[in-house]
Structure 1
């Protein structure tokens, strides 16, 4: 088959089931790229869904059941797709909840994506996400700040926390290169699945990594920067605010090599 799907708990979602979700903001999700019906970092996606469900709902869908939902969606579409799994409460939004029901899962597939070519210019904006460790829905600020950045002549926005540290970008993790080591920002961020894949694969390749605070004043001393998400392990950043960032093709090649070393796994 060649059609994309929207399934709720492994079955085609009806209009009646989808209607309440149109205005729902109390949910979380993970997004992935499937190639040949397989994904990288499946364990990280499952861990993300499990931990976020426990945080938001106090109960999580078992991994084997979640995998069956992912598998059902992949079996009904093309071999290469973008897939999003959204977990929501059956009690809905603006309720106290408390009945202990297992959350419901909406899985959607769409055309595969690989992200922008870059290089990107990032505006710096003071912003901190609520519950930064959870990939939750309804984040109007990210789209608003992205659009403001584009209106100001940038490609996207990078966030500064209350301490003036660079943390993440609108839908991206940030990573830097100091010439010998990969530098991950020390700040409260969403730990991306691509970021997790890269950290363990870079360890396997013996590439030095560090976690340290990065402020705008530190950018001139860096040798390169990228953004990453489920689309890609690295898109070049050539400017942060008014500060140019050197091109570092060897950095991007290293990240793509590390990412490619992660096996594709069927749910």
Structure 2
């Protein structure tokens, strides 16, 4: 149960940023997995320097957020409205660059951050099982960020502007909103969510160049199942995939990927916009 929640919430952090960027900017950010990897390595480096998990967490999140803003302004903004293949090529080139930079700076060998001392506490007993305190922390942080993101998008004036930007950016610009700044902010925040996921995963995962590829693929599955641009859909789909991953590894370990892709195909057949997706405005 706890394993499913952990997998699901990490996927949600990555997929919600991916969904937010696509829903507002219409860009398939294939480099999103590289941002997840960067968040993990930033957290690892900061923890080695300071031995503070708080500093490591903030370094992973804010560092990747800044990279996301720079990436949007200097690279992705050049391919807005261009062919999807051009966007994918740009993102794939970015993945290769990030992987090589990690090998040059941190080395190609595996890294282990280790569990911070502050979480070296007895596990909590829940539903007949035991959950380490750090896992509880991961789940709580992910849920809290997800709830805040949903509230901002659905219930605030800023959220209304962001949703309007996704539908008619020209009209939003005509009303005096700096759309260039808003594009950068949305892309940066979406990237920051990937950095948060990487920073949260660093103490429990092995860090290696290219580690973002597998979570990127699963995040796309989550985004497709939940519906592009839907934060609620990303949460529901991420938890669903988390349970498939956790319990599938026990019951049918050789066919877990097949079930995930089969579920995605089934959703596309029944509801092409995803479980919580909306039909595009004509």
Give TM-score, length-normalised by structure 1: 0.30
Of Structure 1 and Structure 2, the greater helix share is in: 2
Flag the structure with more relative contact order, 1 or 2, with Cα contacts below 8 A and sequence separation at least 6. 2
Of Structure 1 and Structure 2, the greater strand share is in: 1
Give TM-score, length-normalised by structure 2: 0.29
